[in-house]
Amino acid sequence: MCDRDRAGVVLTRACGGVQFVGTDCGDPLCPSCEPYRAKVRRDHWQPVAEKMRYPVWSIFSQRNISDLDQGKELLKSWRRFQDTRLGPRNQKRFGVEVRDYIQEHWRDEPIEVRTWLERCAKFERRLARSSEPLRVRDLTGRGFVTFEITYNPVADSFHPHLNVVRDSRYIPQPYLVVLWRNATRGEGEVVWVKKLSNIPEDMHEVVKYVCKPGDIPAARRGDLRRFLKGLRRVWPLGGAKPCEREKACPFCGEVGCKAHMSGSGVILRQEDTTLGKAVLVYYGQDVPRESWFVRIDYVWQQAGAVAIDLILRELACHSTPAPPVAVPVAA
């Protein structure tokens, strides 16, 4: 059982409310802690996406790898991609490769070929108007990058890729493909580019997991844990910073209601009740008492006297079936 499912700390609010917060076990493959980490990442970075003028979500990937040590090449390739110069000499070379890519990729669709050539020509004219040589990082703007890796059981290989949310003007997809292939030495591909239209829903997809723990076989979990140890899951672009928004107290509703740790606790018992999932927490030897908490949004909030009475009555009903009760009928 994960530590978050059984151990944690007891927080006491300034208003007197008490919460039990599970501790993170630190395992990147933990199915209990990873949803909470994803929620924290979303809370930190969704405000950044909401302030973007031109929010775009792109996925940069490379070929599947069997040796996880090769996965760090993806991060080096991203740095090379960001540092790629777009001066006149490189513009000419990349322009030729972009046109070859368009002719090859849409060879059976002449209308698409003409459309993409016009878009790329317009983009090149915008680059030419710059008074000084640009780098790719000057075009991507502010945003953030999340690392994700999936497992292919058929080939017994891993697929690392980057989810990039950026605030930038239009960059044609063929140009992104050519620039990314150049940075990855031909190993990479830009598989998807999408405008963020529904930011809450799209942000859930961007940060929902680093990997799918249920898909990783036991024989490869040790290697994946070693690979992910110390690896940053999210990093900023263009000086963007995560937002630390203070949340309102769940008891009094005040944003400024501070909390302090008043002790640690261990879950002794878990039960499903009409109030939701309830747990019995033992505070430890320093504070030898027990309290019932109810799960609300990843946090156990202490149940009131009425709620505790309801929990105990339900538990009594679960342990021994109650006899049928005759309901009086009004005359």
Q: How confident is the model at residue 147, as a pLDDT? A: 94
Helix (H, G, I), strand (E, B) or coil at 35: helix
Q: Which residues, 6 or more positions from 16, have their beta carbon under 8 angstroms from its beta carbon?
A: 251
Write out pLDDT tens, residues 144-188.
999 999 999 999 999 999 999 999 989 999 999 999 999 999 888
- What is the C-alpha separation between 164 and 53, in angstroms, rounded? 15
Phi, psi of 133 (to 5 degrees): -60, 140
pLDDT at 193 over 70: yes
8 Å CB contact between 143 and 238: yes
- What is the C-alpha separation between 141 and 143, in angstroms, rounded? 7
Confidence of residue 327 (pLDDT cuts 50, 70, 90): very low
Percent helix / strand / coil, the chain, rounded to 5: 40, 25, 35
Q: How confident is the model at residue 324, as a pLDDT? A: 38
Write out pLDDT tens, residues 78-123.
999 999 999 888 999 999 999 999 999 998 999 999 999 999 999 9
pTM above 0.75? yes
Q: Which residues, 6 or more positions from 77, have their beta carbon under 8 angstroms from its beta carbon?
A: 62, 180, 183, 184, 185, 187, 188
Where do the H-state alpha helices sit in 66-140? 72-83, 88-105, 110-128, 136-140
Write out pLDDT tens, residues 207-239.
888 888 888 999 999 999 999 988 889 999 988
Give me the residue label for tokens 């799209």: 202
Query: Going from the N-terminus, what domains does the chain have, and what CATH number goes with each?
Result: 3-17+249-319 (no CATH), 33-84+135-237 (3.30.70.60)
Cα 199-203-204 angle, rounded to 5 deg: 125
- What is the C-alpha separation between 4 and 309, in angstroms, rounded? 26
Give the tokens for residue 94: 């990349």
